[in-house]
């Protein structure tokens, strides 16, 4: 999975140094977890999967068990392929496992270390998360329902106008909501026309590339970051320069717009937090406080945009693939909500099949299939040593496919969570939104957005005929992308209105 980034001579020297350091200094008290036999110098570099990474790592459990050790050029990986190990280490021992693995590319070269997602677990991160929880906890999330309804109405209207562009519409809608929430900014133009929405799309791309485990040789050999950008094989330096500009623009430009919006009386997370701090201190924000708030605001923008596109596109694909589930959900909406209005959040407790359907979407196509943590100290689990600083990767895809938790895991079956399916007691959302002290603080806002999208779409439309990029009929979702936020691979489908009264209502809103 490593990119070729330097000449063969430099690489050979690096391998020799790494091999000597790794074997000369590693601690030998408890044994390491089992794993594939490494090769000299490169370790498991050639055995690390390049594609369908989560599924490939899950398959290693057949031979090595569900806690697996691999190392690549001296970087150590602990793969957790079962819920028991994930919850014990990342939840119950959260004080030890709340760090992010240090990536030279992601944290140093493109300076993603300022972002909440990549921030090490320190007092600053705790402060970031407190601010976020205050803004998006269960009670506060109710304040955003009207905004979510309005964006959903616009999205349904866009589907009526140009249904073939559904991914672009999903991206614009998700960006519009998070930009309004974080900055008070109103998206301009149609799909692909708003600069800030486009920035979010580019950020998602560079973040996925930067944070892919094992992709960057510079993560194993940090001194490579000092290689001049003009040096042969140093394309990674030029890529990092581009990515750093994208990240800085993403955090700075919308934040500056929030200050303009505040002058016009438009409130947002950024403006409300500024007012709160200034009221408490009796002075304007300091430069450090302003920078801190900029990155906290950016985490709402980044955390709520690409994830919403991923889960909503997964839902559309699954409904197209499983029309019986789609029909059953539509019947429940018509019975409980009726045919002449759209569902609201107060309807949610009366729609058990919709709730089960949402759970099954999260399980069947998890949008964060691999979740990297790191341990700040040496630890032991099941008699195995977990080395300090190793990449401890929760394989959420494997957890969601564990037949001990979800019988017949390859079957898309929302009924498994209902009485008619013997009521599976596991909730996939316990795994879908991260773990321990780094669990997503915006889960309530995310799930209300998802509920509104699911119920509104199914009331107004039917989706069918899923095909891949080449026009070949799809019979299963297939593997998703390998990015940090995983999306279904590109597909097309047919989206048609099914309710004339609601169609007219949408066009009037």
440 is in an annotated binding site: yes
Q: Please, is 288 exposed, middle or buried when counting C-beta atoms within 10 Å of its C-beta (0-12, 13-18, 19+)? A: exposed
Q: Around Cβ 67, how many Cβ atoms within 10 Å? A: 24
Pair 155, 455: CB distance under 8 Å: no
Give the span between the Cα atoms of 391 and 407, in whole angstroms.
30
**Tokens of residue 420, six digits:** 């008619």
User: b or e along 370-405 (b: 16 or more beta carbons within 10 Å of the residue's beta carbon)?
Assistant: bbbbbbeeebebeebbbbeebbbbbbbbbbbbbeeb
Pairing of strands 384-386, 379-381: antiparallel
Look up tokens 């839902």; give the residue.
Answer: 315
Pair 401, 411: CB distance under 8 Å: no
Look at residue 496 and give its three-state secondary structure: strand
Give the span between the Cα atoms of 500 and 483, in whole angstroms.
39
- Selection from 496, 455, 463, 359 nearest residue 148 by Cα: 455
Q: Please, is 179 exposed, middle or buried when counting C-beta atoms within 10 Å of its C-beta (0-12, 13-18, 19+)? A: buried
Give the span between the Cα atoms of 462 and 499, in whole angstroms.
10
Going by the annotation, the residues of the binding site for heme are 440
Going by the annotation, the residues of the binding site are 440
């Amino acid at each position: 999975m490593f990119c070729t980034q330097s000449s063969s001579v430099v690489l050979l020297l690096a391998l020799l140094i790494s091999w000597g350091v790794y074997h000369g200094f590693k601690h030998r008290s408890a044994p390491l977890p089992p794993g594939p036999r490494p090769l000299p110098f490169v370790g498991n570099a050639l055995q690390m999967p390049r594609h369908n990474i989560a599924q490939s790592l899950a398959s290693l459990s057949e031979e090595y068990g569900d806690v697996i050790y691999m190392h690549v050029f001296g970087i150590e990986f602990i793969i957790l392929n079962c819920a028991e190990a994930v919850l014990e280490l990342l939840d119950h021992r959260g004080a030890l496992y709340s760090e992010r693995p240090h990536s030279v590319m992601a944290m140093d070269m493109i300076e993603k270390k300022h972002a909440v997602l990549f921030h090490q677990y320190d007092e600053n991160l705790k402060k970031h998360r407190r601010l976020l929880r205050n803004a998006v906890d269960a009670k506060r999330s109710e304040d955003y329902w009207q905004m979510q309804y309005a964006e959903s109405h616009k999205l349904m209207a866009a589907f009526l106008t140009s249904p073939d562009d559904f991914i672009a519409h999903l991206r614009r809608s998700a960006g519009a909501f998070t930009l309004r929430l974080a900055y008070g900014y109103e998206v301009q133009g149609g799909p692909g026309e708003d600069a800030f929405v486009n920035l979010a799309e580019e950020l998602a791309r560079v973040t996925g590339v930067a944070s892919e485990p094992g992709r960057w040789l510079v993560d194993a050999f940090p001194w490579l970051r000092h290689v001049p950008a003009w040096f042969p094989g140093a394309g990674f330096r030029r890529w990092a320069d581009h990515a750093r500009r994208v990240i800085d623009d993403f955090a700075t430009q919308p934040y500056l717009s929030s200050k303009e919006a505040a002058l016009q009386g438009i409130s947002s997370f950024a403006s409300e937090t500024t007012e709160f701090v200034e009221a408490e201190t009796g002075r304007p924000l300091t430069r450090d406080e302003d920078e801190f708030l900029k990155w906290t605001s950016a985490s709402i923008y980044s955390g709520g945009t690409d994830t919403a596109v991923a889960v909503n596109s997964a839902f559309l694909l699954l409904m197209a693939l499983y029309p019986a589930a789609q029909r059953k959900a539509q019947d429940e909406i018509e019975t409980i909500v009726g045919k002449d209005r759209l569902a609201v959040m107060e309807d949610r407790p009366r729609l058990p099949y919709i709730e089960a359907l949402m759970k099954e979407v999260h399980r069947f196509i998890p949008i964060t299939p691999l979740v990297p943590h790191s341990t700040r100290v040496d630890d032991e689990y099941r008699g195995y040593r977990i080395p300090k600083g190793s990449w401890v990767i929760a394989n959420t895809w494997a957890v969601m496919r564990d037949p001990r938790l979800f019988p017949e895991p390859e079957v898309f079956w929302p009924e498994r969570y209902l009485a008619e399916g013997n009521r599976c007691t596991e909730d996939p959302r316990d795994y879908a939104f991260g773990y321990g002290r780094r669990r997503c603080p915006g889960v309530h806002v995310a799930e209300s957005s998802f509920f509104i999208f699911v119920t509104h779409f199914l009331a107004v439309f039917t989706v069918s005929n899923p095909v891949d990029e080449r026009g070949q009929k799809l019979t299963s979702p297939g593997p998703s992308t390998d990015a940090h936020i995983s999306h279904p691979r590109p597909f097309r489908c047919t989206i048609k209105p099914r309710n004339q009264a609601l169609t007219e209502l949408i066009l009037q809103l």
